[in-house]
Structure 1
Amino acid sequence: MKKKVLVTGGAGFLGSHLCERLLSEGDDVICVDNFFTGSKENIAHLMGNPFFEVLRHDVTFPLYIEVDQIYNLACPASPIHYQFDPVQTTKTSVHGAINMLGLAKRTKARILQASTSEVYGDPELHPQPESYWGKVNPIGIRSCYDEGKRCAETLFFDYYRQHKVDIRVARIFNTYGPRMNVCDGRVVSNFVVQALQEKDITLYGDGSQTRSFCYVDDLIEGLVRLMNTENLTGPVNLGSCGEFTMRELAEKVVAIAGSNSGITFEPLPMDDPKQRRPDITLAMEKLAWEPAIALDAGLNKTIEYFKKYLANPESLSGS
């Protein structure tokens, strides 16, 4: 039986890939987005599908539709965008969670929250397991996102305990790939665009801080498996176990892009985590999931996308 699936933030980087995947599996997909960071270009290639529809809607307001599953991805996810209007960012995480959980409660839909590794803050435990509570500054410039996502997790588990809502919580670590916003300020897109434009790569601090990088197709596979696994609320970490310094990433991007870019250094932003890598034992055991695409292979695909985008931004609908 065809499922009716709602994807909030469905025109964003992750959301558009998720909508595409769900349609390929025969689902009836409703994409909800206010297009603050989402893009119509990301989903234009899906518009001709009779089982795909788009609603321009802000999740801070209630939504009254009938659905079987909800993927709640709505929220700016890059520091440039979520710090642009921090109050609205917090509202999107908190009010958005309340409204989507209310919809799930009424329709008896299963609902998945796209949470984040940012709930761990600047971690004192490495790698980070789901049992770690985190070290988060509640009053810093990143707090609108970090604490908004933490509060959303609280709401999900309270709706689960109090109202028996069928929840799933995924903690998403750094993800990259085609359809990343060229101006979003995230490290992979920053480095790739700078390298392709032969500009110096900007590193913050001394470049020794580490991250793990998961290719978008692997991440989407993890989300779909979590949504469709019984008796597993999460939270479940989804991300790559490969850990790289920012300098190592910059050097890889320059080499793969065939660029002559050098490296410049800027001060480290406030509350920027020094280390970030998931413990994915739970995902491996319960979802039989782990990333399959190595960083070099994923960067090759991402760099090819950005080459085409920078040459002709109008040409990449659906790439």
Structure 2
Amino acid sequence: MIHDKILTNVGYRSGRAKQILVTGGAGFLGSHLCERLVNAGHEVLCVDNFYTGSKRNLTALLDSSRFELIRHDITFPLYLEVDEIYNLACPASPIHYQYDPVQTTKTSVHGSINMLGLAKRLKARILLASTSEVYGDPEVHPQPETYWGRVNPIGPRACYDEGKRCAETLFFDYRRQHNLSIKVARIFNTYGPRMLPNDGRVVSNFIVQALTNEPITIYGDGSQTRSFCFVDDLISGLVRLMETPDSLTGPVNLGNPAELEILELAQLIIDMIGSKSVIDFKPLPTDDPKQRQPDIAKAKEELDWAPSVSLHDGLTKTIAYFENLLMADELV
């Protein structure tokens, strides 16, 4: 079994508790990853500059002796002693990464250089949380890892898209030049508890608007497609990728291949909440992809991984999270 190969990987320290650095660890994905790693018995150093991350996401971990939180921006060097690095630091929603596009690019490029330098010094394994945005507005559907993408290098999304593409370049150059142990995950649309209410992503947008009976904002005619992976499944994929043999560098697509139209998602959320919201159509933003669906054949074969949480079950948990924020008057 592939999973047995992962657990018995010779020469890799996967059979004991490790010291693990998670950059962007106070964010949506990062906080779930920190929690998973601490619960597995590892010591976790969480680094975040709190641009989009929040201490509230880490409430369950702050009293743990195996968890430490450090306020730091990875565009500046960081000196620590760890066994592994998960590099998740970077705003991932258009509202946040377009607010300061130069800083977004610096986080992907300078931040990766700093974390790769740290990994090189420590001889530590390092994983990059890359993105499906490296495929841009794709001409190939669904998108396999062999597809090079169709990205506008001077558009308003380029700070994130090209920043992540450059980060991938740096990871593979460090691999070729310094024989660094790297892993690259291309993360497709992920949702779940701890998403920011105001991050501009469709799941959080639609849920907040439906809960408050505001119009559901759809850009374009709603026929564009996305594929949504629940956060617990995504974190399992990241951990499994980190535990694979050194020869498997990636990139590996991690996402849910179940595709649906944005208009279908909006109607599903309205029905699940019982909302009185109506649909408000607005112009499609520049360079917004028309289709997005991962080919996860490589993840299935190499990681023995595939998402298991249904969209309905994942949305139920996510809606409950935002309902609690609404009751606590924290939907800001």
Shared fold (TM-score greater than 0.5)?
Answer: yes
* Counterpart among 230, 239, 256 of residue 272 in structure 2: 256
Counterpart of 2:291?
275
- Structural RMSD (CA): 0.9
Partners of 2:17 and 2:323 lie apart in 1 by: 37
1:41-68: CA deviation from partner (whole Å, max 9, x where unpaired) = 0012211000100110000001000010
Amino acid at match of 1:279: D
Counterpart of 2:317?
301
1:196-252: CA deviation from partner (whole Å, max 9, x where unpaired) = 000111110000000000000000000000000112100000000100100000001
Partners of 2:85 and 2:76 lie apart in 1 by: 16
Counterpart of 1:173?
188
1:122-163: CA deviation from partner (whole Å, max 9, x where unpaired) = 000000000000000000000000000000000000000000
- SS class of match (2:59): helix
Counterpart of 1:100?
115
Displacement of 1:314 after TM fit? Answer: 6.5
| TM-score, length basis structure 2 | 0.94
| TM-score, length basis structure 1 | 0.98
Identity over aligned pairs, percent: 70
- SS class of match (1:302): helix
- SS class of match (1:45): coil
Displacement of 1:288 after TM fit? Answer: 0.4
Counterpart of 1:244?
260
Alignment of 1:135-174 (within 5 A): 135-174=150-189
> Gaps (5+ residues) in structure 2?
1-15
Counterpart of 1:67?
82
Counterpart of 1:123?
138
Partners of 1:54 and 1:125 lie apart in 2 by: 41
> Gaps (5+ residues) in structure 1?
none
Structure 1 stretches (4+) deviating beyond 6 angstroms?
Answer: none
**Structure 1's 314 and 203: CA in aligned 2 closer, same or farther, altered over 3 A?**
closer
Counterpart of 1:16?
31
Counterpart of 1:284?
300
Counterpart of 2:201?
186
1:73-131: CA deviation from partner (whole Å, max 9, x where unpaired) = 00000000000000000000000000000000000110000000000000000000000
Number of corresponding residues: 315
Alignment of 1:181-220 (within 5 A): 181-220=196-235
**Structure 1's 314 and 266: CA in aligned 2 closer, same or farther, altered over 3 A?**
closer
